[in-house]
Structure 1
Amino acid sequence: MRMRRMGEMPVGRLILTMSWPAMIAMLIQAFYNIVDSFFVSMISEQALAAVTYVFPIQMLLISIAIGTGVGINSLISRRLGAKLYEEADMAANHGYRLSFFNWMFFALIGIFLTSPFMNLMSDTPFIVESGSSYMRIITIGSLFCIVQMTSEKILQATGNMIVPMICGIIGGVSNIILDPLFIFGIGPFPELGVAGAGVATIGGQFLSMCVGQIVLFKGKHAVKVRLWGWKFQGRIVRDIYAVGAPAILMQSIASIMQFGMNIILGTLTETAVAVMGVYGRLQSFIFMPVFGLNQGVLPIMGFNYGARNRKRLMETYKKGLMIACIIMAIGLVAFQLFPRELMAVFNSQNSQEMYDIGIPALRYISLCFLPAAFGIMSSSIFQATAHGFLSLWGSLLRQLVGILPLAWILAAVGGVDLVWFSFPLAELIGTVYFAAALKHLYRTEIRRLDILEENAF
């Protein structure tokens, strides 16, 4: 029944049905990211800068987990659409086992590279020490996050969006509760400072993972995951990473961009690094629902692409884009009208420098929101049709060819006041690329789907 609706339910209602659980889960995640930074900012401005320096590593971790999950999701939904059910099961099996290999990579980073990384980023002793503790906890404890994200993508590919939402809420609420307990040492809990934020994050992820595994292995789904009794097949791993690798690289580019921006801003003032961290948390409250929308439309587009239904594929894309633009427009208005109020949430020390740098930063960077909606939804249709590298090139163009060189030039010309314009300028470059790539994909492949379906009979 759940899979039949992917090809029959009215598209607008199907998008809302599939997307709202993921959007709520993403909003909860964005909220606990904000709460996490709020409590850290109560320690000091340097504490917030320390967490911001570690943020690229967290982004890299999430990029590999999500990118692999996108590849799994795309492959499962395409196989289900083509009614290749055993192939869908094997895609889920391979993806689940791959999550453990991904975790081992980050555990090694946490054990051996934490201190060298923080010493590279800053020479302030408090920032190096607190950032190292936070990073070590996040990376070594990343098993829970990576396994849970993989499980969510498997369930979403079958049309089950409720369980991932519940898991996200459990993880987010747990993190919010644990944050002040471990950061400030309330009651019997130890006072861990910045490291306490890492412990709270890992604790919430552990609880979320436990619920997800119970449902994944005990519930009834369109695919069945088995840990043992099968052998790795290179063909399936290649199929997963044909879409997953570009998604990983695309997300990793964002990590590299953040790493580069931290270096550029750090040469100006570490307050600008803290402001960048504030922006990252605030913009997640706008972008996360769009990413949740993306999770809802991706299996719909993948299913209908596998079923060669061009009309439903394109209708899903167009309506998804419309919803994304509405969300981004709301965010743009909020950032333009209330930048001081937004900055105040993270400025518990009432630093005037934070306001002087942060208020124009929020206004200038948010100009990229609307074109970003087009880029995100175009990336979705590229991934759903197994053309993940088209998304990769767009992300590379925007963030490495666009944002970083522009930020370096603008910082040299006008300092911290101009550097923020690199974001909207780079997004305009990306918009031109995504429009051209989408037009090419439609002409060469999507337009032919109905013809291929007719010839099949």
Structure 2
Amino acid sequence: MEGNLTKGPILKTLTKLAIPIMASSFLGTLYNITDMAWIGLLGAKAVAGVGVGGMFTWLSQGLVSLARMGGQVQVAQHIGRREQEEAHGYAQAAVQMSALLGILFAAVVLILLKPLIGFFKLEDAEALAAAFSYTKIACGLIMFSFLSLTLTGLYTAQGDSKTPFAANLVGLAVNMILDPVLILGPGPFPRLGVTGAAIATVTAQFIVMSILVMRIFVTKKENVLKGIQLFEKIPPKYVRGICKIGIPTALQGMAYCMISMVLTRMVSGFGAEAIATQRVGGQIESVSWNTADGFGAALNAFIGQNYGAGKMDRVKKGYRASLITVGVWGLFITLLFVCFPEQISGVFFHEPTAIATAVGYMIIIGYSEAFMSVELMTVGALSGLGKTHLCSVISITLTSARIPLAILLSGTALGLLGIWWALTATSVVKGIVFVMAFYWITARMRNSK
């Protein structure tokens, strides 16, 4: 097996696994930031259109987490119990379910494209056209992303985070080359604008998926992904096992996105520049949440294997080390956002009014970065224990509070800033509640022995 996470120094073992995952997550951030930087040259209206289209790719990530999280946790726990045949069965089922979900999501979005885009009530024709162009391509070929994410989770469950990192590094290089060529059309190349950005992103996702698949066949090491058959019937017990873990996570991710869609519709009342700010601000913010999510993925595999092996002391020590590491990173991002908002915003916006709107977002949202980072890391930890239902309840309940809070605050003199404060306030509360939940769960497990 690629990596046994139940032995060895805890911090060293966790860090060795986490660094490539965090680097892969950072590469994912660079994907998005690269797109936004080039699209920003087309103007705030193009950014707003891509922002709306990006909502649906975000929604898809919630759906694919059913197969990814369910498969990753089950595989990690069965590896910890040294049940390799069961681990292989769950890995195959996760890949098959991921492919099926990707096809279904693409079909639904393409069939319902007009009413889905219409929900956001974009008034500007240029922004509306950009939303249609980007969504058709990015969501129509979403299966490449689905399979990449699920395979990444399954590699991680085995303690191999280097392969996904290498695949994502190649994908980023391709994306960075294609973006300016396809978006701006220098020399003999056609200027495709937003359509070019979507093509560049999908091409990079296809390459990442291809590398992860090829690695299965060329590696000589034991791998639960070896011998996977896409068209075999999935045994019901594997479907049930994956759904038991994955459905709460999927509901949590999709509910989070749907709540953000409602907030985006509220933001649209303040103009295209406000939507563009929310979109770009979210991509900039992903520097912290992608990194924390990556560390959470490493912690998920670490806790899954150790929980499966009955080593709760390693579980708790691993969480404490992660809490400190991710908390410090979040504080660093807070300082960056609060102290240098003009410089960061100026990279993506070129109109003075758009920059001013973005600065307000960066400062307010910056105060919540440490809490949000801790929240995402703890979700990974609790999911490794199989407590995805609890994560779902906490996240959906507190994230839903953003809507009435945003309505209340935006109706005051704060206006648009009130929506940003609603995001920050709920993130702070969620970070605190999730940490308390982890210690409560582990204390109950210890007392029940």
User: What TM-score does the superposition give when structure 2 sets the normalisation length?
Assistant: 0.95
Q: Does 1:93 pair with 2:88?
A: no
Q: Does 1:295 align with 2:297?
A: yes
The answer on whether the counterparts of 1:59 and 1:254 sit within 8 Å (CA) in structure 2 is no
Structure 1 residues 239 and 422, CA gap change in structure 2 (3 angstroms): same
Post-superposition offset of 1:347: 1.1
Matching residue of 2:170: 170
CA distance, structure 1, for counterparts of residue 404 and residue 366 of structure 2:
19
CA distance in 2, matches of 1:100, 1:2: 25
In structure 2, distance between residues paired with 1:373 and 1:37: 23
1:360 aligns with 2:356: no
Say what the alpha-carbon RMSD is for the aligned residues. Answer: 1.7
> Cα distance 1:225–1:154, how it changes in 2: closer, same or farther (>3 A)?
farther
Aligned match of 2:235 in 230, 233, 236?
Answer: 233
Looking at structure 2, the residues matched to 262 and 409 of structure 1 have their Cα atoms a distance apart, in angstroms, of 16
For 1:187 and 1:17, how far apart are their aligned partners in 2?
A: 44
Instruction: Tell whether 2:9 aligns with 1:10.
Output: yes
Q: Is the 8 A contact 2:407 2:419 kept in 1?
A: yes
After TM superposition, list the pairs within 5 Å mapping 1:259-270 onto structure 2.
259-270=261-272
Partner of 2:284: 282
Q: Who is 1:388 aligned against?
A: 388
The answer to whether the Cα contact below 8 Å between 2:25 and 2:293 also exists between their aligned partners in 1 is yes
State the SS of the aligned residue for 2:379. helix
The answer for the alignment partner of 1:423 in structure 2 is 423
Q: Displacement, 1:229?
A: 8.3
Q: Does 1:52 align with 2:40?
A: no
- The aligned counterpart of 1:33 is 32
The offset of 1:444, in angstroms, is 2.3
**Matched AA of 2:347:** V
CA drift of 1:204 comes to 0.7
Counterparts of 1:2 and 1:228, CA distance in 2: 23
Distance 1:74 1:14 in 2: 18
| Other-structure match for 2:191 | 191
User: What's 1:408 paired with?
Assistant: 407
Q: Could you give the per-residue CA deviations for residues 211-232 of structure 1, whole angstroms, max 9, x where no partner exists?
A: 1110123323341342068532
Identity over aligned residues, as a percent? 21
Q: Which residue of 2 aligns with 1:201?
A: 201
How far off its partner does 1:32 sit? Answer: 2.0
Matches within 5 A, 1:83-232: 83-121=82-120, 122-219=122-219, 220-223=221-224, 224-227=226-229, 231-232=233-234
Q: TM-score, normalised by structure 1?
A: 0.93
2: CA distance, partners of 1:277 / 1:78: 37
Distance of aligned partners of 1:38 and 1:413 in 2 relative to their CA distance in 1, 3 Å threshold: same
Please list the CA deviations of residues 272-308 of structure 1 after superposition, one character each: whole Å capped at 9, or x if unmatched.
1111112111001122111111121111100000011
Q: Is the 8 A contact 1:68 1:247 kept in 2?
A: no
Q: 1:303 and 1:61, CA in 2 relative to 1: closer, same or farther beyond 3 A? A: same
How many angstroms does 1:436 deviate by? 4.3
Alpha-carbon separation, structure 1, partners of 2:101 and 2:25: 22
1:68 aligns with 2:67: yes
Distance 1:188 1:97 in 2: 41
Counterparts in 2 of 1:435 and 1:212: CA distance versus 1, 3 Å: closer
Question: 1:374 deviation in Å?
Answer: 2.6
Residues paired across the two proteins, number = 445
Compared with structure 1, are the counterparts of its residues 397 and 285 closer, same or farther at alpha carbon in structure 2 (3 Å cutoff)? same
Task: Find runs of 4+ consecutive structure 1 residues off by over 3 angstroms.
Answer: 1-4, 228-231
Structure 1 residues 192-201 or 430-439, which shifts more? 430-439
CA 3–241 in structure 1, closer or farther in 2 if over 3 Å, else same: same
Q: Which one-letter code corresponds to 1:89 in the other structure?
A: H
* Equivalent in the alignment of 1:455: none
Q: Distance in 1 between matches of 2:131 and 2:184?
A: 17
Structure 2: gaps of 5 or more residues? none
3-state SS of paired residue (1:413)? coil
Is the Cα–Cα contact under 8 Å of residues 73 and 153 in structure 1 kept in the other structure?
yes
Query: Are the structure 2 counterparts of residues 439 and 319 from structure 1 closer, same or farther at C-alpha, using a change threshold of 3 Å?
Result: closer
Q: Secondary structure at the match of 1:289?
A: helix
Provide closer, same or farther for how the CA distance between residues 7 and 286 of structure 1 changes in structure 2, counting only shifts above 3 A: same
Tell me the SS of whatever aligns to 2:82: coil
**Shift in Å, 1:435:** 4.1
**How far does the alpha carbon of each residue in 1:151-186 deviate from its partner, in whole angstroms, 9 at most, with x for none?**
111111111111000111111121111111111122
Is the CA contact (8 Å cut-off) linking 2:296 and 2:378 kept in structure 1? no
